[in-house]
Amino acid sequence: MKSSNKIIIAIDGFSSTGKSTIAKQLANKLGYLYVDTGAMYRAVTLYSMQNNFVDTDYLKKEALIGSLQHITLSFKYNEKLKFSEMYLNGINVENEIRSLAVSKLVSTVSALSAVRKKLVEQQQKMGEESGIVMDGRDIGTVVFPEAELKLFMTASPEKRATRRYKELLEKGHDVSYEEVLHNVEQRDYLDSTRKDSPLIKAKGAIEFDNSDMGLKEQFERILSITERHISVS
């Protein structure tokens, strides 16, 4: 048994399954660090766009790989919002990385092994202390295969597209529901069929379909599973 009794919680799943909402709530409740690894892949994607490594939908992969050493990603806790925001080379990019333009390209960027290697190393360092909730696509399979608690979140593509569409509208992005649904389905396909670290349910992961579950019920259920895991770890 670890003296601190703190554990690593790995949350994986398809896009817009509400992973980050649950992960944030859980981390705040437990006093754990929360890391949104999707934000890191999104920030690398934004960097590619800002540096003209993208020509319409074509990504200049070699140019991006050759520039990886110039990309510094960090999280800074925002006291007001109660979560850590993404900084790309010292600049807060939390809003830009959520745009549909970034969502359209992020699965191509995150399929690159050189990108994954850099980000996975940084993620593993963040987990050295335990007491962490990390969400993404490969947390339970690659980043922390030994995590004490692994969750795998699913929901129907339509439910997920509706959630993401509302979120984007609230943030002032100009999108249509059809575009968002198409993006969700396309990312499901690309993320789960790529060669390096495809999205699959990790060994030992607990599957959670939240298509018809409210946030409150979902959080209560997951918290009770978590507390049981912490008490036996």
Q: Which residues bind ligand DC (CB under 6 A)?
A: 15, 37-38, 41-42, 106-107, 110, 136-139, 187, 191
Q: Which is nearer to ligand DC, 2 or 215 (CB)?
A: 215
User: Cβ of residue 136: shortest distance to ligand DC, in angstroms?
Assistant: 2
Centroid of chain to Cα 55: 25
The answer to whether residues 3 and 127 touch, using CB atoms and an 8 Å cutoff, is no
Q: Which is nearer to ligand DC, 41 or 208 (CB)?
A: 41
Instruction: Write the DSSP assignment of 92-156 as a string of letters.
Output: E-TTGGGSHHHHHHHHHHHT-HHHHHHHHHHHHHHTTT--EEEEESSIIIII-TT-SEEEEEE--
User: Cβ of residue 122: shortest distance to ligand DC, in angstroms?
Assistant: 11
Q: What does residue 78 show for φ and ψ, rounded to 5 degrees? A: -100, 110
CA nearest to 126, candidates 53, 35, 49: 35
User: Cβ of residue 228: shortest distance to ligand DC, in angstroms?
Assistant: 25
Q: Which is nearer to ligand DC, 139 or 205 (CB)?
A: 139
In this structure, the number of other CB atoms found within 10 A of the CB of residue 224 comes to: 9
User: Cβ of residue 32: shortest distance to ligand DC, in angstroms?
Assistant: 18
